[in-house]
Protein backbone atom coordinates (compact mmCIF):
# COMPACT_ATOMS: atom_id res chain seq x y z
CA UNK A 1 0.00 0.00 0.00
CA UNK A 2 1.43 3.35 -0.94
CA UNK A 3 -1.35 5.91 -0.54
CA UNK A 4 -1.18 8.21 2.42
CA UNK A 5 -4.29 8.06 4.58
CA UNK A 6 -6.96 10.70 4.26
CA UNK A 7 -7.82 12.91 7.22
CA UNK A 8 -10.96 10.82 7.81
CA UNK A 9 -8.78 7.81 8.62
CA UNK A 10 -7.08 9.11 11.75
CA UNK A 11 -7.32 11.50 14.68
CA UNK A 12 -5.97 15.02 14.28
CA UNK A 13 -3.53 14.35 17.13
CA UNK A 14 -1.63 11.98 14.82
CA UNK A 15 -1.00 14.67 12.21
CA UNK A 16 2.43 15.64 13.58
CA UNK A 17 3.71 12.14 12.80
CA UNK A 18 1.76 11.54 9.59
CA UNK A 19 3.03 14.70 7.92
CA UNK A 20 6.55 13.21 8.13
CA UNK A 21 5.62 10.16 6.04
CA UNK A 22 6.79 10.32 2.41
CA UNK A 23 3.94 10.85 -0.05
CA UNK A 24 5.32 8.21 -2.42
CA UNK A 25 6.50 4.68 -1.85
CA UNK A 26 5.18 1.39 -0.56
CA UNK A 27 5.06 0.98 3.21
CA UNK A 28 7.44 -1.96 3.06
CA UNK A 29 9.97 -0.02 0.96
CA UNK A 30 9.83 3.00 3.27
CA UNK A 31 10.18 0.76 6.34
CA UNK A 32 13.11 -1.09 4.80
CA UNK A 33 14.88 2.19 4.07
CA UNK A 34 14.16 3.42 7.61
CA UNK A 35 15.49 0.15 8.99
CA UNK A 36 18.79 0.63 7.18
CA UNK A 37 19.04 4.13 8.64
CA UNK A 38 18.39 2.85 12.17
CA UNK A 39 20.84 -0.05 11.76
CA UNK A 40 23.60 2.21 10.44
CA UNK A 41 23.04 4.75 13.18
CA UNK A 42 23.00 2.37 16.12
CA UNK A 43 25.58 -0.12 14.81
CA UNK A 44 28.03 2.77 14.60
CA UNK A 45 27.76 3.59 18.32
CA UNK A 46 29.83 2.40 21.24
CA UNK A 47 28.17 1.32 24.48
CA UNK A 48 29.23 4.63 26.00
CA UNK A 49 27.69 6.63 23.16
CA UNK A 50 24.48 4.56 23.36
CA UNK A 51 24.15 5.48 27.04
CA UNK A 52 24.20 9.21 26.18
CA UNK A 53 21.30 11.45 27.24
CA UNK A 54 21.14 15.03 26.01
CA UNK A 55 19.53 16.02 29.32
CA UNK A 56 19.29 14.19 32.68
CA UNK A 57 15.54 13.58 32.38
CA UNK A 58 15.65 12.39 28.74
CA UNK A 59 16.02 8.88 27.40
CA UNK A 60 19.39 7.42 26.54
CA UNK A 61 19.94 6.26 22.97
CA UNK A 62 19.58 2.68 24.25
CA UNK A 63 16.20 3.56 25.73
CA UNK A 64 15.21 5.27 22.51
CA UNK A 65 16.06 2.16 20.47
CA UNK A 66 14.11 0.02 22.95
CA UNK A 67 11.19 2.42 22.59
CA UNK A 68 11.32 2.15 18.80
CA UNK A 69 11.24 -1.64 19.12
CA UNK A 70 8.30 -1.59 21.54
CA UNK A 71 6.44 0.88 19.33
CA UNK A 72 7.06 -1.25 16.24
CA UNK A 73 5.63 -4.28 18.04
CA UNK A 74 2.58 -2.43 19.32
CA UNK A 75 1.80 -0.57 16.12
CA UNK A 76 2.30 -3.65 13.92
CA UNK A 77 -0.11 -5.55 16.18
CA UNK A 78 -2.61 -2.74 15.74
CA UNK A 79 -2.18 -2.86 11.95
CA UNK A 80 -2.84 -6.62 12.10
CA UNK A 81 -6.01 -6.18 14.13
CA UNK A 82 -7.29 -3.29 12.02
CA UNK A 83 -6.51 -4.97 8.70
CA UNK A 84 -8.40 -8.07 9.80
CA UNK A 85 -11.50 -5.98 10.44
CA UNK A 86 -11.33 -6.22 14.23
CA UNK A 87 -13.27 -3.28 15.64
CA UNK A 88 -12.44 -4.01 19.28
CA UNK A 89 -11.10 -0.76 20.79
CA UNK A 90 -7.34 -1.00 21.28
CA UNK A 91 -5.92 0.73 24.33
CA UNK A 92 -3.05 3.15 24.29
CA UNK A 93 0.08 2.77 26.35
CA UNK A 94 2.39 5.07 28.28
CA UNK A 95 5.76 4.95 26.55
CA UNK A 96 7.56 6.25 29.63
CA UNK A 97 6.15 3.44 31.76
CA UNK A 98 7.23 0.91 29.13
CA UNK A 99 10.76 2.33 28.89
CA UNK A 100 11.14 2.46 32.67
CA UNK A 101 9.84 -1.09 33.14
CA UNK A 102 12.06 -2.51 30.38
CA UNK A 103 15.37 -1.26 31.85
CA UNK A 104 16.85 -0.94 28.36
CA UNK A 105 20.05 0.61 29.73
CA UNK A 106 20.93 -2.77 31.25
CA UNK A 107 20.87 -4.44 27.80
CA UNK A 108 23.88 -4.51 25.54
CA UNK A 109 23.57 -2.34 22.47
CA UNK A 110 24.09 -5.47 20.38
CA UNK A 111 21.04 -7.12 21.99
CA UNK A 112 18.87 -4.04 21.48
CA UNK A 113 19.86 -3.93 17.80
CA UNK A 114 19.09 -7.65 17.47
CA UNK A 115 15.64 -7.10 19.03
CA UNK A 116 14.91 -4.22 16.68
CA UNK A 117 16.00 -6.20 13.62
CA UNK A 118 13.87 -9.21 14.54
CA UNK A 119 10.85 -7.03 15.24
CA UNK A 120 11.27 -5.09 12.01
CA UNK A 121 11.53 -8.30 9.96
CA UNK A 122 8.24 -9.43 11.48
CA UNK A 123 6.60 -6.09 10.68
CA UNK A 124 7.84 -6.21 7.09
CA UNK A 125 6.50 -9.75 6.68
CA UNK A 126 3.13 -8.68 8.08
CA UNK A 127 2.84 -5.65 5.81
CA UNK A 128 3.72 -7.77 2.76
CA UNK A 129 0.91 -10.21 3.63
CA UNK A 130 -1.91 -7.68 4.03
CA UNK A 131 -4.28 -7.64 1.05
CA UNK A 132 -4.72 -4.26 -0.67
CA UNK A 133 -8.40 -3.97 0.33
CA UNK A 134 -7.58 -4.52 4.01
CA UNK A 135 -5.52 -1.35 4.35
CA UNK A 136 -8.59 0.87 4.50
CA UNK A 137 -10.39 -1.14 7.18
CA UNK A 138 -10.99 0.89 10.30
CA UNK A 139 -11.05 0.27 14.00
CA UNK A 140 -10.30 2.24 17.13
CA UNK A 141 -7.04 2.93 18.95
CA UNK A 142 -6.54 5.30 21.84
CA UNK A 143 -10.23 6.19 21.71
CA UNK A 144 -10.10 7.37 18.07
CA UNK A 145 -11.06 5.80 14.75
CA UNK A 146 -8.11 4.83 12.56
CA UNK A 147 -7.52 2.77 9.43
CA UNK A 148 -4.88 0.09 9.01
CA UNK A 149 -2.97 2.27 6.53
CA UNK A 150 -3.11 5.25 8.89
CA UNK A 151 -1.72 3.04 11.68
CA UNK A 152 1.07 1.82 9.37
CA UNK A 153 1.80 5.43 8.41
CA UNK A 154 1.83 6.33 12.09
CA UNK A 155 4.47 3.67 12.73
CA UNK A 156 6.63 5.21 9.98
CA UNK A 157 6.02 8.81 11.04
CA UNK A 158 6.71 8.01 14.69
CA UNK A 159 10.06 6.48 13.76
CA UNK A 160 10.95 9.44 11.53
CA UNK A 161 10.06 11.78 14.41
CA UNK A 162 12.50 10.00 16.71
CA UNK A 163 15.23 9.85 14.05
CA UNK A 164 14.89 13.62 13.69
CA UNK A 165 15.26 14.03 17.45
CA UNK A 166 18.35 11.81 17.42
CA UNK A 167 19.94 13.93 14.66
CA UNK A 168 19.00 17.22 16.33
CA UNK A 169 19.75 16.47 19.98
CA UNK A 170 21.99 13.42 20.25
CA UNK A 171 24.36 13.55 17.31
CA UNK A 172 25.67 17.08 17.34
Q: How many whole angstroms separate alpha carbon 85 and alpha carbon 110?
A: 37
Q: What is the pLDDT of residue 25?
A: 83
> What is the three-state SS of 98-165?
HHHHHCHHHCCHHHHHHHHHHHHHHHHHHHHHCCHHHHHCEEEECCEEEEHHHHHHHHHHHHHHHHHH
pLDDT above 90 coverage of the chain, percent: 92
* Residue 4 confidence class, pLDDT cut points 50, 70, 90: confident
pTM comes to 0.95
Q: Is residue 1 a part of any domain in this protein?
A: no
Domain residue limits at 72? 7-170
The domain tally of the chain equals: 1
Q: Write down the mean pLDDT value for the chain.
A: 95
Q: How many whole angstroms separate alpha carbon 124 and alpha carbon 122?
A: 5
Q: How many whole angstroms separate alpha carbon 67 and alpha carbon 131?
A: 28
Could you tell me the CATH number of the domain that includes residue 66?
Answer: 1.20.120.450
Q: Is residue 153 a part of any domain in this protein?
A: yes
* Residue 1 confidence class, pLDDT cut points 50, 70, 90: low
pLDDT of residue 133 exceeding 70: yes
Q: Is residue 56 a part of any domain in this protein?
A: yes
Q: Is residue 29 a part of any domain in this protein?
A: yes
Q: How many whole angstroms separate alpha carbon 136 and alpha carbon 139?
A: 10
Q: Is residue 2 a part of any domain in this protein?
A: no
pLDDT of residue 26 exceeding 90: no
Taking a C-beta distance cutoff of 8 angstroms, is the pair 90, 147 a contact? no
Largest interatomic CA distance in the chain: 46
Amino acid sequence: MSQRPTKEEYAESNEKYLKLVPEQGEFSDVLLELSETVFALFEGLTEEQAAYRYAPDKWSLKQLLGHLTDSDRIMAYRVLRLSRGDETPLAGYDENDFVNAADFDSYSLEELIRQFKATRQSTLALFAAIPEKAWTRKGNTNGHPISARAQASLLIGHELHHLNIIKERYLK
